[in-house]
Structure 1
């Protein structure tokens, strides 16, 4: 589906016009939940998840049958500053691994019955080093947003976005700091496993980027400090809202990209929940800023959409109970 925007300004306008959940479906799901064969609240957060999902799908008794996982890959000019433990060539190599079915996210996508797509975004042309110039021109940023938007299958009933890009925890830290406030050291972590000297160098690089590209516009922060894969994830998450497709957010990088949407238009992530708490140090701070409580906490820091994919089964369980359980009347059980 062609993206219906051609500038950052028109993309922001689309965010402001995004649909709300279906009020009738929400009411119907709440009513059904109150009649199921269980004590009130006995399924805890699963009940809230099922009702949330029902509202976005417009069906008080929904099913989840067609999840989509999309992995976006990009390369970063800021890697020239020595911010990663791995060389940029690894991005290309991992994309080939995704395409041949050999990565963790391939296995997790199969396990949840998800369609998985991989998009490599101009890997031969890294973004600019953001300590010297804006990472992307507006044209480049909009193109990445459009790629993300068009990648979403309108027939999907759940979306997970993942990423691959050596250096992208540096970009994500810079974007998070620019959009949510705070110092470079508040947001910069070890990423792929840099040592203490590498962490200090990475933090200093983020600080330089923030000083060079000071802005109070979240989409400008995405353009100046982010990467093509971050922009593509933001575009895909926005497209999912347009189609009323619920989203499970992955880790630190995905949530940094998503934060640019929420800070551009309040409520832009109401159709999204947090799949997990990453082991990347600042992810908890980022989730708190977004008001998202993670479903899982497994010490993951892989990216690729892996934590969000694992969380899909939690949501599937919630929906299965909500839509498949009998009501007290149907089961002939007293007390309903």
Structure 2
């Protein structure tokens, strides 16, 4: 009689949302002082974005609280990544989903939402080239009032921030040290603030650096146009309650040229495409590495994948037409990478020479 050996449970899931999380960390830079810059690659989530984490949490909590019932309807203004996350959860759980969008969003994000069955309502953009955030919100509120749809309100829904608790746990479990600095683009505030709050609750001494586009008003100052999508708030748009200023230790602004140039250099250095706001966060982190204590661990939240921006950030003609192509900036960023690489080479040579 043949004895059947026990087999481990199959590694198969039944819903795409079960694949959320456990995204990888990639070391982008290590310096001669032992300081390293890691990328948390959230583009490996379903829908290619960190926002699917908070979309899941907002939908599940709405069900628990009775705001969403079988056959319900969700409506939300979005620049794309929250929308694709909500579209996924809606199709899995049997809801209709309406996304209120404008032409500032990457077209591939809009196509992705439509592919998953979402209805798109477009609002007119303004003449500045910036997002029509105020108008998108107004239209979404009108649809919710008229139809009785559930509107998550990602800028103020506390379950946006709560959706990133798992991300914080992943960082601490994947590293043999603390996260000394967490750098992330700030839009709704959920990814950076939610992760930082949970890291600190778990005992981390992390310092948080928030990055917004030049032209955004989240950290004060005059508003203006910008092309980075999914981060920042334009003039006239009230900053939501999920931006927890007390959780952010330092803020900075990065222009579109630097953000997009950095994303392009990262792609050529690693073969991994990141979004424009991730480029801004990497740019901010790169400039700080030399000033940080030896052996520090810096993590940049790469909130989405760059394949959504092949016709924008990674399209030279699109950049040139908008005055955003900056070859000199790409060379400067490349030299900065080279300087850090050289510092590591010299440190290794010195260690080998002295035997230390």
Q: Same fold (TM over 0.5)?
A: no
Q: TM-score range by the shorter chain?
A: 0.3 to 0.5
Please identify which structure carries the higher helix content: 1
The answer to which structure, 1 or 2, has the higher relative contact order (CA under 8 A, 6+ apart) is 1
Please identify which structure carries the higher strand content: 2
Q: TM-score, normalised by structure 2?
A: 0.33
